[in-house]
Chains A and B, each alone.
Chain A
Amino acid sequence: MAVLARSSSPSSLSKLLLRPHSFSSLRSFSSSAADDQRVLTIETSVPFTGHRIEPPSRAVDTTPAEILSFFRDMALMRRMEIAADSLYKAKLIRGFCHLYDGQEAVAVGMEAAITKRDGIITSYRDHCTFLGRGGTLLEAFAELMGRRDGCAKGKGGSMHFYRKEASYYGGHGIVGAQIPLGCGVAFAQKYSKDGSVTFALYGDGAANQGQLFEALNMAALLDLPAILVCENNHYGMGTAEWRAAKSPAYYKRGDYVPGLKVDGMDVLAVKQACIFAKEYALANGPIILEMDTYRYHGHSMSDPGSTYRTRDEISGVRQERDPIERVRKLILSHELASASELKDIEKEVRKEVDDAVAQAKECPMPDPSELFSNVYVKGFGAETFGPDRKEVRSVLP
């Protein structure tokens, strides 16, 4: 029944990513569901738990088109991370690579709740958040492989994806540093009176950092529209949360700042929580969201991920709580699309990712002169050298 695979190129298809309000472009499958704007109210899997705040209702308003876009976007992110895994093992990606598969619902649900004027700042596990903010697959893969067409011209790497025009402030390598930075962006948004908020994402590993509490204190004093989102995947590198935190109830750690615990594998719950948090933060100041989520890969590509947790645990989560499977069941139970249509979407997504990888592999490496560009905003004509002071030299503009 469905007409699939529009003829547009991979990059333009990926530009259609994550725009739940432009459903007319998603004609590729079940045309009735893709355009369907009728409101569906679906309950989240578990209720929210609040700390010093009345949690929002479990009933989330959504539309069939939005749910289908959730499925497609999460499938795209999952494919991208798996492709990055293979590229890393093929040594086309070097250095660090921290994969987000399993946590896609957080990125996708958050985007559904906010605009591109709201800021997002996150840690080094940033590939999918970048995609959510409007980044393309080509930019992501090229950046991972250090090529010129990457979003940071190959100079940032896996941990430093930026997209300032979509208010995405990176991509940070230092654990916990993004939290005061995110509060600073929220300060600037409040100062500029532009009615937007900033989401500062961090993990359970960073939740014990002192600068988090310093920043939270100031954000609360100044009533900044800052939302601190703890993506609790229960392991900080290789350390389980109960061994790192005396109180692993991260949504309560704000003490005087209210918090909400959310099932981070349920994209609708994430969306509801983010809408609620945005409203709260604009009126009252900071709030903490704890997303209960899970990562299938290890901390990074150099971590197998099975030395500190059992394979049974990983496959158990995959079977019971996988965010994409949950949305698939939702779609099938509400008959928004058939199983084969969903399979076709996945095939399409796979092809898109493969095409982007092939295109990224063709991209050239950056020119050596890029070593000296963007080092300073104004270099004042200073001379710079490589370590031997002979061959590699330049004058900074």
Chain B
Amino acid sequence: FFFLGPSIDRKMWGIARRKNLGQALQKVLPAGSMTVREALNSALDEEMSADHSFLDGLESTRISKGLLEKYGPDRVLDTPITEAGFAGIGVGAAYYGLRPVVKFMIFNFSMQAIDHIINSAAKSNCMSVGQISVPIVFRGPNGANAGVDVQHSQCYAAWYAHPDPVVFLENELLYGESFPISAEVFDSSFCLPIGKAKIEREGKYVTITSFSKMVGHALQVDTFKGISAEVDDIVRAVKRACYRSILMAATT
């Protein structure tokens, strides 16, 4: 619902990516698969059409492609590069009852707004004993990226591992990659539960847990020194109830 304006080098990098990956991929996409970027775009689109009060942030990359035209500038807002301000405004709108999606350019910048994410959003339901819940999603790329510096590469999964408010950590490098999906995903009311790990691949002796981009790397481990390995994708709830899944996997 609020977006951080793009920096110049990001724009250029985005153009380079589009040239190399986006268009090429779009031509050869098999039916029944979509890129991460398209998945995000369609999820936002579905939720915005389902609930008229849902808001999003405009960005010049393709995740919000088409949403500004479809829902108008009242619902898709481009903001100045002031994280503390726009995150606070997003949380305030959620206090009233709207459902904003606040986008950080990358999660490193969320540190400028961390007071609003934690003190204003996460704690409000408890402090107000349920009077003010905060139905907000903070999203944006997190973690490793290609060739950017230390200040832009930190992973915040451990900082933000709670379901309320939802902090949705993406990975920039994956936006252009496509993955196969089943037909039911295209249904607009399809959703997945938060809090359960997904077993990507069954295995017998070793459990590898991971999330986001690292799941792809983990899946490439065919056998771990000859020991067949199970890979759990805990993307849906880092650190939360998936302890149970991990424990189950480790003890069987």
> Residues of B contacting A219 with CB < 8 Å?
89
Partner of A180, one of B85, B96, B163, B194: B85
B131 at the interface (CB under 8 A from A): yes
Interface pick from B115-123, B200-208, B220-228: B115-123
A: contact size bracket:
35 or more
What does the 1/0 interface line of B219-252 toward A look like (CB < 8 Å)? 0000000000000000001001100000000000
A326 at the interface (CB under 8 A from B): no
Q: Are the CB atoms of B195 and A380 closer together than 8 Å?
A: yes
Complex: how many Å from CA A223 to CA B169?
A: 32
Partner of A214, one of B84, B125, B240: B84
Asked, given contacts A177-B116, A376-B162, A376-B164, whether A188 binds B131 with beta carbons under 8 Å apart, the answer is no
Complex: how many Å from CA A177 to CA B90?
A: 12
What does the 1/0 interface line of B93-126 toward A look like (CB < 8 Å)? 1111110000000000000000110011000111
Complex: how many Å from CA A257 to CA B67?
A: 31
> Residues of A contacting B119 with CB < 8 Å?
173-174, 177
Identify the closest chain B residue to A164 (Cβ): B131
Q: Are the CB atoms of A181 and B95 closer together than 8 Å?
A: yes
Complex: how many Å from CA A380 to CA B94?
A: 21
Q: Are the CB atoms of A215 and B93 closer together than 8 Å?
A: no
Q: Are the CB atoms of A218 and B128 closer together than 8 Å?
A: no
A182 at the interface (CB under 8 A from B): yes
B: contact size bracket:
35 or more
Q: Are the CB atoms of B164 and A188 closer together than 8 Å?
A: no
> Residues of B contacting A152 with CB < 8 Å?
127-129, 131
Q: Which of A172, A186, A374 has the most chain B CB within a 10 Å cutoff? A: A374
Give the Cβ gap from A170 to chain B, nearest Cβ, in Å.
7
Asked, given contacts A181-B120, A184-B88, A217-B85, whether A377 binds B127 with beta carbons under 8 Å apart, the answer is no
Q: Which of B120, B124, B127, B162 has the most chain A CB within a 10 Å cutoff? A: B127
Partner of B164, one of A189, A213, A378: A378
Interface pick from B12-20, B74-82, B178-186: B74-82
Complex: how many Å from CA A380 to CA B241?
A: 7
Asked, given contacts A164-B128, A218-B82, whether A177 binds B115 with beta carbons under 8 Å apart, the answer is yes
Q: Are the CB atoms of A210 and B127 closer together than 8 Å?
A: no
Complex: how many Å from CA A152 to CA B93?
A: 21
Identify the closest chain A residue to B193 (Cβ): A380
Complex: how many Å from CA A177 to CA B120?
A: 8
What does the 1/0 interface line of A359-396 toward B look like (CB < 8 Å)? 00000000000000111111011100000000000000
Complex: how many Å from CA A188 to CA B194?
A: 27
Complex: how many Å from CA A380 to CA B236?
A: 12
B197 at the interface (CB under 8 A from A): no
B92 at the interface (CB under 8 A from A): yes
What does the 1/0 interface line of A206-231 toward B look like (CB < 8 Å)? 00001101110111011000000000
A153 at the interface (CB under 8 A from B): yes
> Residues of B contacting A17 with CB < 8 Å?
none
A185 at the interface (CB under 8 A from B): yes
Asked, given contacts A181-B120, A214-B84, A215-B88, whether A155 binds B126 with beta carbons under 8 Å apart, the answer is yes
A140 at the interface (CB under 8 A from B): no
> Residues of A contacting B147 with CB < 8 Å?
none
A156 at the interface (CB under 8 A from B): yes
Q: Could you pull out 9 A-B pairs where Cβ atoms are within 8 angstroms?
A: A177-B115, A177-B116, A180-B84, A180-B116, A181-B92, A181-B120, A184-B91, A188-B95, A214-B85
CB-based closest 7 A-B pairs: A184-B92, A180-B88, A214-B85, A188-B96, A214-B82, A181-B92, A184-B89
Enumerate chain B interface residues (CB-CB to A < 8 A). Answer: 53, 74, 77, 79-80, 82, 84-98, 115-116, 119-120, 124-133, 135, 162-164, 194-195, 237, 240-241
**Extra pairs beyond A174-B119, A181-B88 (4, CB < 8 Å):** A119-B96, A169-B95, A185-B92, A217-B85
